[in-house]
Structures are given as structure tokens and as C-alpha cells.
Chain A
Amino acid sequence: MATYLFARLFQAAVGRLLRASVPIVRIQTERLVYFATWAIGLLVAVQQLGIVIDIIELLVAIVALAFLFAYRESLENIGAKYFSDIYLPFKVGDEISIKGTSGRVIEINPICTVLLTADEHLASFPNSIFLREHFVNLSKVAWKEVNIPVVIQNDVDLAEFESQVLRACSKLKMYWDERFPPFFTTRNRDAKNAELVLTLMLRSPDKKDVAVAEVNKRISDIIQKLKSKQPATEPS
């Protein structure tokens, strides 16, 4: 019971702290804190039952270290992919140039990004390289496009969420290029979650941070507000 309460408390605290962050980062961090709190709570509970857990703790630590060491490069690439969704300014379809190779991005998977070059060759780059090397997005007006990934759980009415976010974006119209109204694209939809991307086009590049932070805040507020209402009926 105590573990449950602490887990919820820490989750809510993290949520508040990361209110202005990209929603997907906030949600994933909340989950991580929640499960980490539970893991610690369970270890403490087991210890209180008198079971010696030193050996278990040692084994878990050794396995974790071995895993991290063996898969460090893959984890680096997976981590970079995670950040590239949010912080790196390119997406599938864009033309980019990196380390002397230019091409159209045709795939971004957890390990690498694949470009199709002008002479129809495939060039593959590990995702971690985008965090270390300079690259250029050659697509026209690439600087304008802001893509904000959002994950909505089924306890939030998706249609209502979308409506309210679009209205909120309309109220922030001074930041956006009005020739390109905001829209959501569905990346994935399963029984528990909807993975969406909100696309907006900036009016001016120097307002990007302010505009994106404002949208993120409003998205978080809308999610909280809708969660506190009646749960949405799962599509039948």
C-alpha cells in the first residue's frame, strides 16, 4: 500500500516537473519512475520478510552490467532513435546530408537511419551518429515543421482531446504559419494507447522553443483535465 502511494506520488511529481516537456518524454519518465519505485518497494518488502536479498541484488547488478556492456552500441542507437523522434529535426521523407552522403530518409528504425541516395543506393547510418556529427536537413522549409509525438491512453477521449488541442493551437496562432493548419497523424492505435504526431508549422524560427513549450504545456493540461472526467468508452 505504501509502495503504491509512493509510486503514484512520485509519478505525479515528475509529471508536474516535466509539464513543459514533450508529452511522450513526460509520460515515459513517469512510467519509469513508477516502476522503479515499485521495484525498490518490492525489494524492501522482501527484505522486511527476513529474506536475505544481498545475493539477489548482486546477481541483478552483475546481469545488468553485463547487458549494458554487451549491448552498449545498440542501446546507444536505440537511445538516439528515441531522442531523434523528439529533438532531431528530420523525419522520413526529408532530404538530409551527413558525412558527405546526401539522400532521402526512407527509414528510421531503432538501430539505424536509412537514406536513399540520388543514384538509388541505400546508405545506412547508426542513429547514435546523429547525436555526435553535424548534419543538414536539405528539405525545403524543414525549419518550419514541428512534430510533437503524443501518446494517449484509453482513459482519455481521443476525439475530445484532439478537438481541444486544435482549439488550443488556434489560440496560439501567432506562432504558426497560418497557411498550414495543425493536424494529427495516427502512428499506431491499439487496445490501450493511441500514438499520434501533432504537426505544426512555425511562423518564425526564433519562436520555436516558446511555441513548442506552450503547446506541450497545453497538451499536458488537456490530458489531465480529460483524465479527471468520465473515462472514455473504448471503441466497441
Chain B
Amino acid sequence: MSQTPLIIFRKRTGYQYYKVDDEPTDLSALKEGIDYYFSPGGVTRMLFPLLKRLLQEGVVDAVNWISLNPAAPMSVVHGDLVLNHVRLEEAKMKGYGSAKERIWRAVHGVAKEKKMDFFWEDDYIDYTYLNRRFSELAIGLDRSVDFDLFYVHDFQLLPQGTMLPPGKPKVFRWHIPFDEDDLPYEWRTTFLRFLSSYDTIVLSSKRYSDSLRRLGYTGEAVYVYPYLDIKHYDSPEKGTVDLFCSLFNLSNDDRVILVVGRMDPIKGQDVVIKAFKKVIREEPKAKLLIVGDGSFTSAQTGVGLPKSERWTQHLKDMVKKAQLEDRVIFSGHIEDQMLKAAYTRSDVCVLSSIKEGFGLVVIEAWIYGKPVLVSSSAGVADLIRDGVNGILFDPYDHEALAKKLVLILKDRGLADRLGREGQATATLCSLDEGIKREVDILHRFIGG
């Protein structure tokens, strides 16, 4: 169960496949890129390969994925994977969206909440309403399918543990950062209650599981580094890379700094722009490529909050003010092959998030042998040996970031070494490793 759907449909109600809501829609009858596209974001990028592999290897017989998807058919079949969608009335969608943003901001430590007022307000009640809709759908499906386990993903669905009935194991995966010092003190009891309603909590790094213990959680908790299907990240054809460079006006002697992530203040793209202003003085050939768009939260076919648009405009205004429009490129969302071309062409990748659950973009960059500069606040910082397979920096210190960027851009030997070591480290986040850990967790609760 996850808020973010696997697939986002391009067309709204009225298209022919919505006529019969009772019958599942076969995804193979639709066209990727035209009728639908796969959701961006780490959760789906990680979960889909995992589920495909678990089905292929017979670890599981079938998977039902429940998610919020206002513009989608109620049920979509993709092989042995059945996607079930929850829709929500617009008024409640707004309340839900507002509530989950407040939770997200509070957990990331970017907003101070006043005591417990939030949990008594209508927006939180709408958040509870959405969760009840999820649990009712899950329970209904369980009657026909007879699930062995419920695997709930991320903070948007945290209350599921208290809503799904006892008798079936419930595992909760916490994807965003977890720092007990960021969580509002008054919220701790409520959060502990939710977390304690699960049989196991899975977090993305050791620092988060340690934090959970310090919060007072006494149940079972493990950490599993997020993972990617490394085989998916093949080298793009030269023609594709040339096309990419042509589209984004990158010449052969440009030194490309790549930042990949959704458009959100928490991703710290503004810090990179400030650092870039200093970098360009030392490396006049440098260009900054910012790849990313909104998330499901900001999509018009999703929750529909305009946060990403505002942030993108703010960044563009910064670039304009610094007169760097010819050196800073905003690509928006780019297709898979173009993203591979971006990694291939880049000289260095930066994860600048002020807070980050993990940071799969670092793994992606490592797969392509690229040196990385990583915010010390990101979960993936656990894997960085400073100066060996990457370089850490304080996400609030753009001066230090600028110095480290110049160091890497000037020293190609260092860049190559960091990239090679990074490639070796990336195997810790391979799908094979991830599956081993996930199957261990599943086997604690279900036999066979």
C-alpha cells in the first residue's frame, strides 16, 4: 500500500476505459507515454522492480498494490500485479493534501507545529478518512484474495496499522528521514502509537533506526538500504547522448554539474545555485543541469498542490538575478533514456537535500561511475567514506560546496577514483541485495 501510484494516467474520466469501473483494465491494452507513464520518485522506482522480481522468482504468487490515483481506473492488471486505486472527493483531497504536507514538514524539521492542535483539525480528519478508505479497500480485497501480509509504505499511510484488523502481519516501511529531534515533542506519543501497531518497521538507514530507538520505540525495527535494478541502468547509445546534449545546449568541453530531484525547497537546489555562482569564476566552462519536476503530490492528476511550480519559479528568478541563464539549465521531467544520457554526460552529481530519506540518485550516479557530492543530512551519507567514494558537505554551506565542486572539476584523477569506488559501493543497493533483505523480513511472518 502506498500513496503514490505505480502508474499515472494521462486522461481523466470520460476516456473509454473508464466506462466500466467494475472490470479491471488491462495495462497491455494501453500505451506507455501516451495513455500513462510510470510515477517518478524513489518509492515506485524501488518497489516495482522488487515486486516484479518477487513474482518472477515465485517468492510471492500475486501482488495487489493499493494507491491513491484520482484519475485512474479503479483496478488495473499488469501481469500478476493488480493495481487498485482509491479515489477521494475533491474537498477531502485538499484537506488530506494539506495534512500530509504538514506532517511531512514537521518530520523534516522545516516547520514548527503548535502542540497537538493539528490532530484535532478537519485536515487531519480528512487524512484519517483517506486512510480508512485505503484500509476498507484492503480488507475487502483480503476477503477474496486472502493476503499473507500487508506491506504499508510511508508516512501518508501511517495510521493503517490501527485500521487493518489484527490477525495478519503488518510491515511498515518508513521512506523519509527519521530524526527524533525534528519530530515535534508533543507528537511523539501519537507517532509511537501508530508505529507500535505494526509488527515490524523498516527504515532506510542505520541512523534512522537508531533514532527510532531513542524516540522510545521498543518493537521490531530493521534498516534496509533502498535498492535499484542496476541492470536497468545500461549505457545509452551515443546518438541518445548527442541528442540530449543538443537539446540542452551542452558542448563537448562543458563541465556539467548534475542535480536530479523533484522541485522542492527540501531538495536544496537553491544552495547549488548559490555555490555555482562561485564555481563559475574558477571554472568558466561549468554548466549546472537541474533535472526534475513535481512529484505525485504536485501533479494535476495527483494531489494537485502547486509547491513545485512555485519553487521552480523561485530558482529561475535566482538564476536570472545572478545572470546565469546561459549556464543553468532546467530540464523539467525527462524520460528514462534522457536521464541515463544526463548521468552519462555529467562530470559530477550533487545531492543537495537539506533532508533526504536516502537519495537513490547517488546510487544512480555511481552506477555510471560519476563522482558524487552528498549532503551530510541524507540517509545515503551512511555509505559515503569521505574522499574515498564520495564527498560530504553541509547542505547549508554553499561556500564549502563551491570549493568541493571546484576541487572535483579541476582534479580528474580524483573524480575518476571517486567514481570507481562509488561503482563498487553501489552494489550494496542492488536489487539482489534488497530482495535478500526483503525476503528475510517476509519470512519472519509467512512460511514457504
Which residues in A have some Cβ–Cβ distance to B below 8 Å?
A: 158-160, 162-163, 166-167, 170, 173, 178-181, 183-189, 191, 234-236
What are the 6 A-B residue pairs with the smallest beta carbon separation, nearest first? Answer: A235-B140, A181-B119, A159-B132, A189-B165, A235-B136, A163-B129
User: How far does the alpha carbon of A234 sit from the alpha carbon of B144 in the complex, in Å?
Assistant: 13
The main secondary structure of chain B at its interface with chain A is helix
User: For residue B190, which residues in chain A have a CB less than 8 angstroms away from its CB?
Assistant: 180-181
Chain B CB count within 10 A is highest, among A183, A188, A191, for A183
User: For residue B197, which residues in chain A have a CB less than 8 angstroms away from its CB?
Assistant: 185
User: Are B125 and A163 in contact (CB-based, < 8 A)?
Assistant: yes
User: For residue A159, which residues in chain B have a CB less than 8 angstroms away from its CB?
Assistant: 129, 132-133, 136
Q: Which of chain B's residues has its CB closest to A164's CB?
A: B125
User: Are B140 and A236 in contact (CB-based, < 8 A)?
Assistant: yes
| B224 contacts partner chain A, Cβ-Cβ < 8 Å | no
User: Are B136 and A181 in contact (CB-based, < 8 A)?
Assistant: no
Q: Which of chain A's residues has its CB closest to B137's CB?
A: A235
Extra contacts, 14 of them, besides A173-B120, A185-B197, A236-B137 (Cβ < 8 A), are: A159-B136, A162-B129, A163-B125, A163-B132, A166-B128, A179-B116, A179-B189, A181-B124, A183-B193, A184-B163, A186-B135, A186-B163, A187-B166, A235-B143
Contact A158 B119, CB 8 Å, known A167-B125, A179-B189, A188-B165: no
Contact A158 B165, CB 8 Å, known A178-B115, A234-B140: no
User: For residue A185, which residues in chain B have a CB less than 8 angstroms away from its CB?
Assistant: 162, 197
Q: Which of chain A's residues has its CB closest to B186's CB?
A: A179
Q: Which of chain B's residues has its CB closest to A181's CB?
A: B119
User: For residue B137, which residues in chain A have a CB less than 8 angstroms away from its CB?
Assistant: 235-236
User: How far does the alpha carbon of A166 sit from the alpha carbon of B127 in the complex, in Å?
Assistant: 12
A231 to chain B minimum Cβ distance, whole angstroms, is 14
Q: Which of A181, A183, A189 contacts B116 (CB 8 A)?
A: A181
User: How far does the alpha carbon of A2 sit from the alpha carbon of B361 in the complex, in Å?
Assistant: 73
User: Are B128 and A162 in contact (CB-based, < 8 A)?
Assistant: yes
| B122 contacts partner chain A, Cβ-Cβ < 8 Å | yes
| B139 contacts partner chain A, Cβ-Cβ < 8 Å | yes
A195 to chain B minimum Cβ distance, whole angstroms, is 8
Contact A191 B143, CB 8 Å, known A158-B132, A162-B129: yes
| B164 contacts partner chain A, Cβ-Cβ < 8 Å | yes
Q: Which of chain B's residues has its CB closest to A232's CB?
A: B136
A184 to chain B minimum Cβ distance, whole angstroms, is 7
User: Are B116 and A163 in contact (CB-based, < 8 A)?
Assistant: no
User: How far does the alpha carbon of A229 sit from the alpha carbon of B159 in the complex, in Å?
Assistant: 27
User: Are A184 and B136 in contact (CB-based, < 8 A)?
Assistant: no
Give 1 or 0 for each of B197-236: 1 = CB within 8 Å of chain A CB. Answer: 1000000000000000000000000000000000000000
Chain A CB count within 10 A is highest, among B128, B133, B136, for B136
User: Are A178 and B128 in contact (CB-based, < 8 A)?
Assistant: no
Q: Which of chain B's residues has its CB closest to A169's CB?
A: B120
User: Are B165 and A184 in contact (CB-based, < 8 A)?
Assistant: no
Q: Which of A163, A188, A236 contacts B128 (CB 8 A)?
A: A163
Instruction: Return 28 A-B CB contacts under 8 Å, by A number.
Output: A158-B132, A158-B136, A159-B129, A162-B128, A163-B129, A163-B132, A166-B125, A166-B128, A167-B122, A167-B125, A170-B121, A173-B120, A178-B116, A178-B117, A178-B120, A179-B186, A180-B189, A181-B120, A181-B124, A181-B190, A186-B135, A186-B164, A187-B166, A189-B165, A234-B140, A235-B136, A235-B139, A235-B140
Q: Which of chain B's residues has its CB closest to A189's CB?
A: B165
B335 to chain A minimum Cβ distance, whole angstroms, is 35
User: How far does the alpha carbon of A159 sit from the alpha carbon of B89 in the complex, in Å?
Assistant: 13
Q: Which of chain B's residues has its CB closest to A188's CB?
A: B165
B430 to chain A minimum Cβ distance, whole angstroms, is 38
User: How far does the alpha carbon of A37 sit from the alpha carbon of B121 in the complex, in Å?
Assistant: 45
Q: Which of chain A's residues has its CB closest to B130's CB?
A: A159
User: How far does the alpha carbon of A163 sit from the alpha carbon of B164 in the complex, in Å?
Assistant: 17
Chain A CB count within 10 A is highest, among B121, B132, B186, B193, for B132
User: Are A179 and B140 in contact (CB-based, < 8 A)?
Assistant: no
Q: Which of chain A's residues has its CB closest to B119's CB?
A: A181
Give 1 or 0 for each of B156-200: 1 = CB within 8 Å of chain A CB. Answer: 000100111110000000000000000000100110010001000
User: For residue A178, which residues in chain B have a CB less than 8 angstroms away from its CB?
Assistant: 115-117, 120
A37 to chain B minimum Cβ distance, whole angstroms, is 32
A155 to chain B minimum Cβ distance, whole angstroms, is 14
User: How far does the alpha carbon of A160 sit from the alpha carbon of B129 in the complex, in Å?
Assistant: 7
Q: Which of B348-380 contact A (CB under 8 A)?
A: none
B24 to chain A minimum Cβ distance, whole angstroms, is 11
User: How far does the alpha carbon of A162 sit from the alpha carbon of B159 in the complex, in Å?
Assistant: 13
User: How far does the alpha carbon of A170 sit from the alpha carbon of B124 in the complex, in Å?
Assistant: 11
User: For residue A173, which residues in chain B have a CB less than 8 angstroms away from its CB?
Assistant: 120
User: Are A170 and B135 in contact (CB-based, < 8 A)?
Assistant: no
User: How far does the alpha carbon of A234 sit from the alpha carbon of B140 in the complex, in Å?
Assistant: 7
